[in-house]
């Protein structure tokens, strides 16, 4: 079984290059979303604890099965631990044989940003130049990078309640050719934005973005509201936006639309990717992509990374599954009689 550690992922992605990796990942996501009905899908399984959540995200089609283990504990940074940490597995569906176990904290940031940029490609104004980021924690730089490969961005306006997180973001992005505008609050940050990503972490109903902050039609990529009782967008703004989500059944439980009546329905992103519906800020006004993170996105990144790791001979083969001459003689592992 192939095992990929953080160093392996770093090595692989730096060999391929951020841009190529993001573009390949976006293409892989589009391929998998296009095969929507071929997947066996369920909302993720969540274990809620005080101030956090631990989730299992399984999905499969005829060929591959994947799951991700991920947490969301917004108070973790106070103990110098990350808010979001993840690992994941890819297996063969027909036999159940595990193929790969991988780190997924980095891969989650890549796949979330790729998914955000992929959706924006269809939904946001084509000539978007100003990106606003509200929340400059672990996900933020990845968000900028992915958007920068799809749009000709000229400015990033950003705000975080933590000045240290803003300084960290500014330092990390200062080497790229983009105007950086730190803002004193979310209101100032949203002015003039073409695209607004909200990626804050707090397990409560927050109103990070409100209707009075929006002065022109804008594309909102909401990724931080992703758990029951954890939202970022004021209800009035959710109500007045055209909404697109990943998987309606899961989004109703976890997304911004948990604030709307139970029978609320909206477009799912696969319908847009397949060209069955055309929705864009230019034709529909302000759009909210109510993204909570869906297992298919983890499937896509695991599938891609597995193929790339094999091609580039990266990772370690480890014996986590018994290799037996007589497959009914598991006991032979203990008797050293596996001949």
Ligand X SMILES: NC(=O)c1ccc[n+]([C@@H]2O[C@H](COP(=O)([O-])OP(=O)(O)OC[C@H]3O[C@@H](n4cnc5c(N)ncnc54)[C@H](O)[C@@H]3O)[C@@H](O)[C@H]2O)c1
The catalytic residues are 226
Helix 105-123 to helix 140-148 angle (10° resolution) is: 40
55, 103, 141, 202: which one contacts ligand X (CB under 6 A)? 202
Cα Rg for the chain, rounded, in angstroms? 21
Size of the site for ligand X (CB under 6 A): 31
User: Residues 78 to 97: which contact ligand X by CB under 6 A?
Assistant: 83-84
> Interface with ligand X includes 224 (CB under 6 A)?
yes
Residue 237 Cβ vs ligand X, minimum distance, rounded to whole Å: 15
> Interface with ligand X includes 290 (CB under 6 A)?
no
CB-side exposure of 122: number of CA atoms within 13 Å? 23
CA-wise closest residue to 117 among 153, 151, 147: 147
> Interface with ligand X includes 113 (CB under 6 A)?
no
**Rounded Cα–Cα distance for residues 255 and 243 (Å):** 11
Which lies closer to ligand X via its Cβ, residue 78 or residue 175? 78
Which lies closer to ligand X via its Cβ, residue 228 or residue 322? 228
Residue 146 Cβ vs ligand X, minimum distance, rounded to whole Å: 12
Which lies closer to ligand X via its Cβ, residue 130 or residue 165? 165
Concatenating the DSSP letter of every residue in 278-324 gives ---HHHHSSEEEE----HHHHHHHHHHHHHHHHHHT-SEE---S---
> Interface with ligand X includes 276 (CB under 6 A)?
no
Which lies closer to ligand X via its Cβ, residue 222 or residue 315? 222
Question: End-to-end alpha-carbon separation of the chain, Å?
Answer: 21
Which residues lie below 8 Å from residue 85, measured CB to CB, with a gap of 6+? Answer: 70, 71, 105
> Interface with ligand X includes 213 (CB under 6 A)?
no
112, 128, 231, 300: which one contacts ligand X (CB under 6 A)? 112
Which lies closer to ligand X via its Cβ, residue 2 or residue 53? 53
Residue nearest to ligand X (CB): 137
**Rounded Cα–Cα distance for residues 198 and 250 (Å):** 19
CA-wise closest residue to 25 among 134, 87, 106: 106
> Interface with ligand X includes 269 (CB under 6 A)?
no
User: Six-digit token pair at 169?
Assistant: 């973001």
> Interface with ligand X includes 182 (CB under 6 A)?
no
Residues that bind ligand X (CB under 6 A): 72, 74, 77, 83-84, 108, 112, 134-139, 159-162, 165, 186, 199-202, 206, 208, 223-224, 226, 291-293
């Amino acid at each position: 079984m192939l095992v990929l550690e953080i160093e392996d992922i770093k090595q692989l992605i730096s060999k391929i290059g951020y841009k190529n990796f993001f573009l390949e990942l976006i293409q892989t996501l589009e391929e998998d979303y296009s095969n929507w009905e071929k997947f066996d899908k369920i909302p993720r399984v969540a274990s809620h604890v005080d101030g956090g959540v631990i989730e299992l995200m399984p999905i499969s089609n005829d060929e591959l099965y994947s799951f991700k283990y991920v947490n969301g504990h917004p108070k973790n940074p106070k103990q110098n631990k990350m808010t979001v940490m993840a690992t994941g597995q890819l297996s063969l569906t027909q036999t159940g044989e595990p193929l790969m176990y991988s780190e997924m904290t980095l891969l989650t940031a890549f796949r979330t940003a790729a998914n955000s940029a992929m959706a924006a490609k269809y939904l946001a104004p084509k000539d978007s130049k100003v990106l606003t980021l509200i929340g400059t924690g672990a996900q933020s730089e990845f968000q900028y990078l992915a958007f920068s490969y799809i749009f000709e961005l000229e400015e990033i306006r950003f705000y975080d309640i933590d000045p240290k997180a803003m300084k960290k973001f500014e330092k990390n992005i200062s080497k790229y050719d983009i105007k950086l505008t730190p803002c004193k609050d979310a209101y100032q940050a949203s002015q003039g934005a073409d695209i607004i990503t909200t990626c804050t972490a707090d397990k409560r109903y927050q109103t990070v973005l409100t209707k009075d902050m929006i002065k022109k039609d804008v594309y909102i990529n909401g990724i931080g509201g992703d758990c029951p009782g954890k939202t970022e967008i004021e209800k009035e703004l959710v109500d007045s936006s055209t909404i697109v989500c990943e998987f309606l059944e899961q989004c109703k439980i976890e997304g911004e639309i948990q604030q709307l009546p139970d029978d609320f329905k909206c477009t799912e992103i696969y319908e847009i990717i397949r060209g069955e519906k055309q929705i864009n800020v230019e034709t529909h006004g302000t759009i909210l992509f109510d993204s909570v993170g869906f297992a298919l996105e983890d499937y896509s990144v695991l599938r891609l990374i597995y193929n790339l790791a094999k091609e580039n001979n990266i990772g370690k083969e480890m014996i986590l599954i018994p290799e037996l001459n007589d497959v009914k003689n598991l006991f032979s592992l203990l008797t050293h009689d596996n001949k």
